[in-house]
Structure 1
């Protein structure tokens, strides 16, 4: 039995894009029916024979902040939980309350709680991340202080300072960062927003006062560099009429010369997305994709981007885009894309692409490794997705590379608890026949 959803099923899903509420109801009902018909009894996970799996909390037995029976996760796929020297890892711990803890697991010292925050969600946590050199800290995460959204920067000695702006992404040189309105996101896409009301952001800010801010990390000041009104007035489409607008997933290129972001709007005709790139000094957005659907993306180098998107040439695929010329090519046609949308990223040497899938008929998420040299795909593992971890509380695998390219970090709830894991893929990718 093929447990993948067919082209016909995906076409029907696209056809219902214009009716999000109906689509959501029908999709949920259809998924339930499929699971009842095709479920694999007592299944939790399955691994490729050359892959090893380890819970992050087991990296060092003396970890005192480990919570093996509680919930831990790292967050999004575009950041690495590993420090540059591979000796430390970041996770979020959640005990079921309103807040979470940012925890550092270490090979050298006992694990420690870096901080606590109520500015978080299950998809991206508190945007906890390792800082580049020349930034105000070693670790940064978003928090709420005096009823304002802020970022907390923690140095190597555990000292912290606040900057009165949350962060989305930090420039590779560490002197500036970009951010957006997490309160608007909560209203329009709760998966990625923060629910607690604050004074410095509103879920209903005017379009000319909302968008993307650049933060000067030395001075702690920020400037609105791209507004939502600017985006709605750029090559406007009729579907924008009376729609709600937002930006999301801002991502610097590896050297920071550019950044990419998504402009998305929701209106009577349904959901639409555009992909933009801009120089990180001049802020003149260039429209890369405008064919209704854009999802997840990752930089290959300063000039090329890998993105799951829709295009008239090939439909819904992984596309490699030259952000200077706009030229694109399909990557892994009918191999990497057979399970649909995922969260892709490149290995440090750019030979490999890791991505994941959403649950198939059996509620299994697949972790896929694509070899660009040989144009082949390995299934690294399959992981059960319990129904209670669905919607805003879902646990996407969100695969992330280690800096040495030998390990993959994922989050999963296949045991019934949200946990963070390390997969050692060194035996798989270092085989002689590859």
Structure 2
């Protein structure tokens, strides 16, 4: 049952304590909004550390991989390095919650030119014993039960959507538009066995559109539900990768073996930008994120519902989709949540939706907020400046992430002139049942 919309009340400002992690001497960030940086105990917070605030992502550029130990002196401690990363997602560093102890997973570059994606793989590291295990593919997301991961070619993403890809020396190279032998792979985390579960050719033939025929195809925002039994992803295609406003989008779900594929939304629309005289350089850094046709940032609320920013029935909003053949969809915060953001529900109470905005064109400030699904009120937690000279591939989105107890959140931000991680105490809001 989809909840009715009751969101007509204005936003209110709430004062919450903000704490920067680390000593600020170097730069720290985590990356995406889709997973928590905290371990099960709340003592360790995963992070990446770099010596500079921004830099071109050449293949040789290295980042330290480690964590802050909050129960000790709060300092960052590196446990490895990697050259497979980007400013948006880091190296896909994540806890393996289905495993005992403290095990983490992250992407690496390798010397294996015979690998399925030559030169790329992943590592599982046991932080308690120091034992490492190599995996044959770079990971996009691991299942909550830690039995499998879903994987894509980050070299392809570097061509189609540079901000979330990995560069190659001598690249980017020409790649096929919709190959039969590439797409989303499922990798068994115990054995390393790999299976292609959704090829780009199969996606192009699934409820096909004429706009797909001459376009290059890719997938992003792959997410697995809490039960590890269902997968969502965005299927994207375009004839002009240089201009993100030419991207077309579909929200699709499937079973972890690729069966049971279901189309939840498609934003196929005419693209006047494809005219020969259109100048992609005239497109602003965040124009794509604010497009009325954008489908972005989907995430599971629970095993059967997905929150996403995107168009439906002629209007673009935060929407809640039911992953079923019934196709139930409802608007969240119709008159309050009016901008695209990185949204996720509290891990312990779906009353609270955490999200942010992209920088305002005049003030260059982003807003971090909680939305009360019960009362329809937006609680603004703070505004954070983002220097406009940070562009697409090196920008620093807030990417808010929950602590596991729902009483704090973590963001990446550059409002103090450095790329750092901050913890915001939201317990005054989420820790009490506001009447």
Is 2:14–2:379's contact at 8 Å kept on the other side of the alignment? no
| Partner in structure 2 of residue 274 of structure 1 | 250
| Partner in structure 2 of residue 12 of structure 1 | none
Q: Secondary structure at the match of 2:89?
A: coil
Moved more, 93-102 or 248-257: 93-102
TM-fit CA distance, 1:431: 5.0
| Partner in structure 1 of residue 41 of structure 2 | 85
| Partner in structure 1 of residue 405 of structure 2 | 404
TM-fit CA distance, 1:264: 0.3
Distance in 1 separating the partners of 2:252 and 2:170: 29
Aligned 1:229-308 pairs, distance under 5 A: 229-267=201-239, 270-281=246-257, 283-292=259-268, 293-308=294-309
Q: Secondary structure at the match of 2:232?
A: strand
Higher relative contact order (CA 8 A, sep 6+): 2
Q: Tell me: CA distance 1:272–1:135, structure 2 relative to 1, closer, same or farther (3 Å).
A: farther
TM-fit CA distance, 1:297: 1.3
- Which residue among 61, 67, 91 is the counterpart of 1:104? 67
Distance in 1 separating the partners of 2:304 and 2:14: 36
| Partner in structure 2 of residue 359 of structure 1 | 359
TM-fit CA distance, 1:255: 0.8
Q: Tell me: CA distance 1:197–1:180, structure 2 relative to 1, closer, same or farther (3 Å).
A: farther
The CA deviation string for residues 181-212 of structure 1, in whole angstroms up to 9 with x for no partner, is 1100001111000013599x986256111110
Is 2:84–2:108's contact at 8 Å kept on the other side of the alignment? yes
What stretches of structure 2 of length at least 5 have no aligned partner?
A: 1-11, 56-60, 113-118, 269-293
Distance in 2 separating the partners of 1:197 and 1:168: 22
Is 2:124–2:134's contact at 8 Å kept on the other side of the alignment? yes
Aligned 1:176-255 pairs, distance under 5 A: 176-197=148-169, 204=175, 207-255=179-227
Q: Secondary structure at the match of 1:105?
A: strand
- In angstroms, what is the RMSD of aligned CA positions? 2.2
Is 2:322–2:329's contact at 8 Å kept on the other side of the alignment? yes
Q: Tell me: CA distance 1:153–1:352, structure 2 relative to 1, closer, same or farther (3 Å).
A: same
Distance in 1 separating the partners of 2:412 and 2:160: 25
TM-score of the aligned structures, taking structure 2 as reference length? 0.82
Matched, 1:71 2:27: yes
| Partner in structure 1 of residue 133 of structure 2 | 161
Q: Secondary structure at the match of 1:393?
A: coil
Is 1:135–1:175's contact at 8 Å kept on the other side of the alignment? no
Distance in 1 separating the partners of 2:233 and 2:37: 22
Q: Tell me: CA distance 1:432–1:270, structure 2 relative to 1, closer, same or farther (3 Å).
A: closer
Q: Tell me: CA distance 1:137–1:179, structure 2 relative to 1, closer, same or farther (3 Å).
A: farther
| Partner in structure 2 of residue 146 of structure 1 | 111
Matched, 1:121 2:77: no
Moved more, 90-99 or 341-350: 90-99
Q: Secondary structure at the match of 2:155?
A: helix
Distance in 2 separating the partners of 1:198 and 1:154: 31
What stretches of structure 1 of length at least 5 have no aligned partner?
A: 1-46, 58-65
Distance in 2 separating the partners of 1:164 and 1:275: 28
Q: Tell me: CA distance 1:288–1:161, structure 2 relative to 1, closer, same or farther (3 Å).
A: same
| Partner in structure 2 of residue 372 of structure 1 | 373
Is 1:278–1:284's contact at 8 Å kept on the other side of the alignment? yes
| Partner in structure 2 of residue 17 of structure 1 | none
Q: Secondary structure at the match of 1:186?
A: helix
TM-score of the aligned structures, taking structure 1 as reference length? 0.82
Is 2:367–2:383's contact at 8 Å kept on the other side of the alignment? yes
Higher helix share: 1
Q: Tell me: CA distance 1:380–1:133, structure 2 relative to 1, closer, same or farther (3 Å).
A: same
| Partner in structure 2 of residue 44 of structure 1 | none
The CA deviation string for residues 127-148 of structure 1, in whole angstroms up to 9 with x for no partner, is 0011122489701110011142
| Partner in structure 1 of residue 350 of structure 2 | 350
Q: Secondary structure at the match of 1:75?
A: coil
- How many pairs were matched up? 375
